[in-house]
Amino acid sequence: MLKDIIYDEFQHTVSEILLCNRSILDLLAKSQETNARMNRAIIKSVTGCGCIRINAAKKKIPPETSLEGLKKLLESHLEGELCDNCREIVELEMGRNLFYLAALCNLLDLNMYDVLIKEQKKLKALGLYNLA
C-alpha cells in the first residue's frame, strides 16, 4: 500500500538526517517544544491574524442525551477558516511535530505506520466509547 510506504519513507528520512537531538531527553524536549509552537501558531491565527475565531461557552447537555446525540450537540467552537499565511505556518509547525514524533519512533524502534494502524483498529473497535 502506498500510504505505508510514505510513512516508512518519512521515518527513514528523519533517521538519516537527524544528527543533533539524538538523546531521548533531547527528543522529548523538542517534541514538547514543537507541540507548543504548533499550539502557538493556532492561537496567533486567532489573536494576531483573526482569520479564525473561538466562540466558546459552557454547553448545557440534557441528561437524556445519547453519545450519538453529543456529536450533534457539541461543536469545535471555531469560526472562520485559516488564511493562506496562517495555514502555511500551522502546517509547518505540524510538520516539525511529525518530524520529532518520527524521531522518537526511530529511537524507540517503533514504526509510525504500525502505531497508526493499531490506533485505527482501537478506534474502530471502541467507536464512540473511545472518548479520546
CA distance linking residue 21 with residue 98, whole number of Å: 15
Query: Which carries the bigger pLDDT value, residue 60 or residue 78?
Result: 78
Among 3, 2, 35, 13, residue whose Cα is nearest residue 102? 13
If one counts the domains in the chain, the total is 1
Percent of the chain scoring above 70 in pLDDT: 92
Angle between helices 2-17 and 84-107 (to 10 degrees): 80
pLDDT in tens, 74-132: 778 899 999 999 999 999 999 999 999 999 999 999 999 999 999 999 888 877 666 54
- Cα separation, 42 vs 20, in Å, equals 27
Residue range(s) defining the domain that contains residue 116: 2-130
CATH number at residue 66: 1.10.287
What pLDDT is attached to residue 76? 82
pLDDT given at position 132? 46
